[in-house]
Amino acid sequence: MNSQVHNNDVIVIGGGIIGICASYYLQKSGKKVVLLDQNQVGTGSSYGNTGWIVPSHSIPIKSPGTLQTLKWLLNPKSPFYIKPTFNIDLWDWLIKFRKYSSSSNIEDRISLSTKLSQESLNLYKEIIQSENIHCEFEQKGIIQLHNDERSFEEGVKDAELLRLNGIKSNILIQKELKLIEPSIKSNIYGGIHFINDAYLNPFTTVSSLANIFIKNGGIIYPNTQVEDLHINGNKITSISTNKGIYTSKYIVLATGAWSSKLMKKIGVNLPIQPAKGYSISFKNTKHTPTRPLILSETRVGISPFNNYFRAAGTLELSGLNLKIAPKRIESIKKAIHSYIDIDLKNSSEDIWCGMRPLSPDGLPVIGLTSKIDNLMISTGHSTTGVTLGAVTGKIIQQLIDNQKPLIDIEKLSPNRFI
């Protein structure tokens, strides 16, 4: 029990990919950093995902039409699911989401997102090389598969838009796909190969960074839940946890899908919704694909790792909970079989779900709030938290060190939702 922990430069709350990258860069710049997590580090949303670092994912999720929304509301098997509920925060979020989806600045958001993700990819490469981290990092690109002509045409249009922002891709017809990945089914209409995308094993990456952080003198307190933040004037003076009181000059909030709940306690409104997704990791499979695939129409992603291959998908707005819905697992398995030839009968399965911190405009929320001078918000990374981990960590360090951030983050400010 750490009843009193003082004299730190920075306390980072939350040990997912965002919190650990921020801790890494802050420590590198000479800060005394303490990291707190309510569980073990890396076991939140950063655990069982597909690990993609994808500048190609810079187009925000489009808002569905009203009819489509109603269909999803009624269909628990759809790739997006909104649980019918009277949760005011969820409805407020949905209204904001609609507003941003139809706003005219989508191109600006795509441009900012591509800059952030490309910078992040460079930073990951630098960290992995300089720290000699073995995290299954590969840069073979990602192939987006389409089994329907119309969705393929839409995919090609999006790829054009991304190309204007420096994201390279090759359009592939069915025969070409088969040559690259023989396991792809013959009925697939076409594909788009985003050649510079990369991926890594997310949990191995977080754990490796945590080990480096500890080796260099950082302190991690697992099973330490922040229960409240105490404010005097415009500063947080202390943090109470289930293990005692902590103080430091700066606090970094990297609590992912739990962020709004904690911020509510101090009157800061962060419209971040938990968006549940599932993954299945299959062991003992034969003829698995050799690179990540997107099964477009079903929104399922596949990543081959050293000892297993992982399929992940669905986006479920059903509040803060980790209940597994068997129907979603079945939908993911069905999706796999409709795009690739693979025998899963003798494989073992590890089923997981996690909650993405979903912001209404698809951009992360980074920076100070107008109310508190020493609370650095770092959340809302939505469907691309792994992608943006390194660049976010670097920017947080630069902001705390009063340096100019490597990318202008004005549009990421927490104050944009007020």
Among 11, 35, 37, 116, which residue interacts with ligand FAD (rule: CB under 6 A)? 37
Mask for 116-155, x = binds ligand FAD (CB under 6 A): ----------------------------------------
What single-letter DSSP state applies at residue 210?
H
- Residue 392 one-letter amino acid: T
Query: Whole-number minimum distance, CB 69 to ligand FAD, in Å?
Result: 21
| Burial call 85-109: b when 16+ CB within 10 Å, e when fewer | eeeebbeebbebbeebbeeeebeeb
Closest CA to 11 of 212, 208, 230, 260: 230
What single-letter DSSP state applies at residue 363?
S
CB atoms within 10 A of CB 284: 12
Say whether residue 394 binds ligand FAD (CB under 6 A): no
**Residue 386 burial (10 A CB sphere; 0-12, 13-18, 19+):** buried
Among 27, 296, 369, 384, which residue interacts with ligand FAD (rule: CB under 6 A)? 384
Q: Say if residues 235 and 21 touch (Cβ distance below 8 Å).
A: no
CB atoms within 10 A of CB 337: 12
Residue whose tokens read 């389409």: 146
Among 10, 11, 12, 17, which residue interacts with ligand FAD (rule: CB under 6 A)? 17
CB atoms within 10 A of CB 60: 20
- Judged by CB under 6 A, the number of residues near ligand FAD is 42
Query: Whole-number minimum distance, CB 73 to ligand FAD, in Å?
Result: 21
Say whether residue 18 binds ligand FAD (CB under 6 A): yes
Query: Whole-number minimum distance, CB 273 to ligand FAD, in Å?
Result: 12
Mask for 197-236, x = binds ligand FAD (CB under 6 A): ----------------------------xx----------
Closest CA to 220 of 16, 366, 389, 47: 16
Query: Whole-number minimum distance, CB 300 to ligand FAD, in Å?
Result: 9
Query: Whole-number minimum distance, CB 78 to ligand FAD, in Å?
Result: 15
Q: Tell me how far apart the alpha carbons of residues 21 and 394 are, in angstroms, rounded to a whole number.
A: 7
CB atoms within 10 A of CB 68: 13
Say whether residue 357 binds ligand FAD (CB under 6 A): yes
Q: Say if residues 16 and 206 touch (Cβ distance below 8 Å).
A: yes
In sequence order, which residues have a C-beta less than 8 Å from that of residue 186 and are 6 or more positions away? 174, 178
Point out which span in 26-34, 155-163, 184-192, 251-259 binds ligand FAD (CB under 6 A): 251-259
Among 49, 56, 298, 331, which residue interacts with ligand FAD (rule: CB under 6 A)? 49
Q: Tell me how far apart the alpha carbons of residues 201 and 134 are, in angstroms, rounded to a whole number.
A: 9
Which lies closer to ligand FAD via its Cβ, residue 190 or residue 362? 362
Query: Whole-number minimum distance, CB 46 to ligand FAD, in Å?
Result: 3
Closest CA to 136 of 198, 215, 43: 198
- Residue 344 one-letter amino acid: L
Residue whose tokens read 């997912």: 16
Query: Whole-number minimum distance, CB 48 to ligand FAD, in Å?
Result: 7
Which lies closer to ligand FAD via its Cβ, residue 39 or residue 85? 39
Which lies closer to ligand FAD via its Cβ, residue 189 or residue 302? 302
Say whether residue 254 binds ligand FAD (CB under 6 A): yes
Which lies closer to ligand FAD via its Cβ, residue 36 or residue 167? 36
Point out which span in 9-17, 124-132, 213-221, 228-236 binds ligand FAD (CB under 6 A): 9-17
Say whether residue 38 binds ligand FAD (CB under 6 A): yes
> What is the token pair recorded at 99?
């507003």
Q: By the criterion CB under 6 A, which residues form the site for ligand FAD?
A: 13-19, 36-39, 43-46, 49-52, 225-226, 254-258, 262, 277-279, 312, 354, 356-357, 379, 381-387
